[in-house]
Structure 1
């Protein structure tokens, strides 16, 4: 059990508190002093029982200078350790802290994988055995300043190392050096890293490409809702960019500088989803960490939690989420202590939540709690009027990432994109164009470069623009048919044979619709 004493900062108060536990025969395993003015004392008492605390608490609160006693789930040092562990685990690049002897003091999981050992085996390893030609401590002493992009070979791979010196005191002289933090970047992935940096240059709503009037309308609505400190429900098909919109809303709110955490509720077992979201207490279950684990809600305190595919959430988690939305409180798994947090909840779903409520698979009261503010992200097939600009944007992004000249999109390829039904929406379009750029050996993307699987075809008239006269509608359908078949029959004669009409008829139609060589 861990106790927190709010008390006066006076000489002997710790002795007076501990004496009562000694008289009661309870061992104090660990203690810490905190608070802005040393006015908080934390004690870890592993053998203390609830009944014993109930008996001792009135006596403890009569100690001069003690203002209150309460249970807590973590000691301050334990919480710092958990937060640091969560931060290091979230980094995909190997990160190590080394001392001035070149030994590893701490490292993340990526560093352990790089060195070929378990993460708990990394501390104490000497980097000399991996870097025989480089004396890192000497390098740190000689520079005594941050080193960026140092090229080195480790375990057969080439890395660029960023080295930040650590000092024991505020002075930054060589005598106070305690070691350094080393971050390694794979040299063969630097192009991808630069691309990711470029991708983050535009943040928030500026990162969402608004080529279609429908998308522009969506962004206007979302901009108005973003600053409102209320739950937001984002509805839309897979691949439409719901998480991107949620991040934009977070950045445009007063919480924009606080954490943003995401959890996909689909595919996670109930127990795992519960511990990921709410965390667990010490000894909550077999195999649990001795110090427990912070959930995403606690790591997001003051910020925004994004729950993707909330319609897949289990009934038990729906109850806990509803409770949190009502009063901001929850209990970690295996704990009877209430935790209260200020976190904004943004949810996303591609399911029809009212239908799930009618079927009894989603709580009606939770749906109304989540649906305070809502936006509907349109599918790509309803925004095809902006696909040319969107395709140009993705081609530029793919060319930068691959490191090749920017190809242009042929009219036939554009027609092919415009006539496709896009079951995977914007995400599928980006992936298809990335693959097309990687396949293209020349300067032009042709229909043959577009790998578009004919799956998930929408029924009936999905994707057909029904505005205008019958002739205009039929002309649009005709254009889609010709654009879909032309890559397989790339000449007017071949296509004429396929459709059973004259070569002249097909040639005129291809020219009129701007498809293939006949359009030139």
Structure 2
């Protein structure tokens, strides 16, 4: 058990605390002094039980200068280590800490993959085993200052290295403790420059609004962004739900705080739970002895974006409801309540109201998430802005590839406009990147636009004209509903598209047997 004792900084106060623990036969494995103002003592007592703490608490609080005793999940050093590991693990490029003998002290996951070993095998390894003609300690001693963009070869691959010396306030070579080495692949420098340029435009300015419908969505989002309430963003895959969520975060009072993302659809239930809520020390076999911070705690004061929330398990839904209601939760395997201030933005491709009607999504969670809502239209409903959007992506692709800016032929634009875009804006961006790489740098022609034919809506002309007018109209109505249901797969979405009530659409879908296949 770990306890935090809020107290004054007086001579002998720690001795008085330890004497009480000795009287109860409690061993202290580790102790730290911390708190926001250095006014707290943290003690890690592995054999301290809850009943013993209940008996000890009033006696410790009776000591002169002691204000409060409470259980905590982590020591300050443990929390700092967890946060540092989480931040390093999130970086996609290799980062290594090297001492002045040339040995690797620590590395992130990307660096371990580069070296071909596990993360726990890295400490103690010599950098010279992998780097050709690169004496980092001698370089650091000679420069004693940060070096950016140094070309180095590691395991046969060329990298541009940023080197940050670790040096105390004393300005002499003996004070050098080593350096932090950040590696970037030389063949991806153009991509890095492109990504930097992309981030020059932040928030809503990064969302292209050539379509009137999309411009209206952004206007709504601007009004909702500053409101400190849950936000639900609905839209098909590739429509830019995360981009809109990030823009809302940046335009809110939380804009300078963390923005964390969890894809609920891409993780098993147990992994999603520990990623979101974290776990306590020794929560399960194979768990870290100090526990793990979840995304919620790492997002404290900021915004958490939950993508694919419609596919979240019922267990996670229940825990999320409680957090939205009370602002608190428990880590997996822990009894301690954690209180946090985090705004939650969710996104889904599914119709949550229909999932609620089928009992597949909690209604109380749906009502808490749906305080504010935005619907991003699919690209096929925003074709009025297709040409400027396509030219924007062509410009971006040519910058990233480093080629001349090509033009878009009228025939190629016509091909783009005639496609149904199941992958929406993301698919359009990828398609045009490929087109720019295929063309001769002057003109994008139809043959450069390579589009898969999967998910193509069935044609409306394949129905019989036999029988009465009512029978012909019935077959035509079925063909129309089949065509549109593939793009609006719920009675509410389809009703909105056709301008009728969802009840009317649901009855017609049932009459024609549409939507029963799944």
The answer, yes or no, to whether TM exceeds 0.5 is: yes
TM-score, normalised on structure 2? Answer: 0.87
Residue of structure 2 equivalent to 1:439: 438
CA contact (8 A) 2:235 2:348 kept: yes
State the shift of 1:366 in Å: 0.9
TM-score, normalised on structure 1? Answer: 0.86
d(CA) in 1 for partners of 2:306 and 2:132? Answer: 47
1:312 aligns with 2:331: no
Query: Can you list the C-alpha shifts for 1:457-512, whole angstroms capped at 9, x where unaligned?
Result: 34678xxxxxxxxxxxxxxxxxxxxxxxxxxxxxxxxxxxxxxxxxxxxxxxxxxx
SS of match in other structure, 1:96: strand
Residue of structure 1 equivalent to 2:278: 279
Residue of structure 2 equivalent to 1:183: 182
1:143 aligns with 2:143: yes
Query: Can you list the C-alpha shifts for 1:419-466, whole angstroms capped at 9, x where unaligned?
Result: 1111111011111111111222352111111111122234678xxxxx
Unaligned runs of 5+ residues in structure 1 are 462-520
State the shift of 1:135 in Å: 2.0
d(CA) in 2 for partners of 1:243 and 1:37? Answer: 38
SS of match in other structure, 1:266: helix
d(CA) in 2 for partners of 1:200 and 1:363? Answer: 37
- What is the aligned residue count? 460
Residue of structure 2 equivalent to 1:381: 380
d(CA) in 1 for partners of 2:419 and 2:361? Answer: 34
Map 1:178-327 onto structure 2 (within 5 A).
178-327=177-326
Residue of structure 2 equivalent to 1:7: 7
d(CA) in 2 for partners of 1:306 and 1:28? Answer: 40
State the shift of 1:221 in Å: 0.7
CA contact (8 A) 1:301 1:341 kept: yes
Residue of structure 2 equivalent to 1:32: 32
State the shift of 1:287 in Å: 0.7
Residue of structure 1 equivalent to 2:485: none
Map 1:94-109 onto structure 2 (within 5 A).
94-109=94-109
CA contact (8 A) 1:9 1:37 kept: no
CA contact (8 A) 1:97 1:181 kept: yes
Unaligned runs of 5+ residues in structure 2 are 461-518
Q: Do the aligned partners of residues 32 and 442 (structure 1) sit closer, same or farther apart at CA in structure 2, a change above 3 Å counting?
A: closer
Q: Do the aligned partners of residues 97 and 442 (structure 1) sit closer, same or farther apart at CA in structure 2, a change above 3 Å counting?
A: closer
Structure 1 range deviating more: 440-449 or 300-309: 440-449
State the shift of 1:373 in Å: 0.7
Residue of structure 1 equivalent to 2:173: 174
Residue of structure 2 equivalent to 1:114: 114
d(CA) in 1 for partners of 2:266 and 2:157? Answer: 35
CA contact (8 A) 2:165 2:178 kept: yes
d(CA) in 2 for partners of 1:255 and 1:400? Answer: 32
1:410 aligns with 2:409: yes
Residue of structure 2 equivalent to 1:346: 345
Residue of structure 2 equivalent to 1:336: 335
Query: Can you list the C-alpha shifts for 1:49-98, whole angstroms capped at 9, x where unaligned?
Result: 11221222222222222111110000000000000000110111111111
Structure 1 range deviating more: 62-71 or 237-246: 62-71
d(CA) in 2 for partners of 1:460 and 1:335? Answer: 57
d(CA) in 1 for partners of 2:154 and 2:37? Answer: 47
1:93 aligns with 2:93: yes
Query: Can you list the C-alpha shifts for 1:320-357, whole angstroms capped at 9, x where unaligned?
Result: 11111111100000000000000000001111111111
d(CA) in 2 for partners of 1:224 and 1:175? Answer: 57
State the shift of 1:132 in Å: 5.2
d(CA) in 2 for partners of 1:425 and 1:387? Answer: 11
Residue of structure 1 equivalent to 2:419: 420
Query: Can you list the C-alpha shifts for 1:134-193, whole angstroms capped at 9, x where unaligned?
Result: 22112112111110111111111111110011112x344434222111101111111221
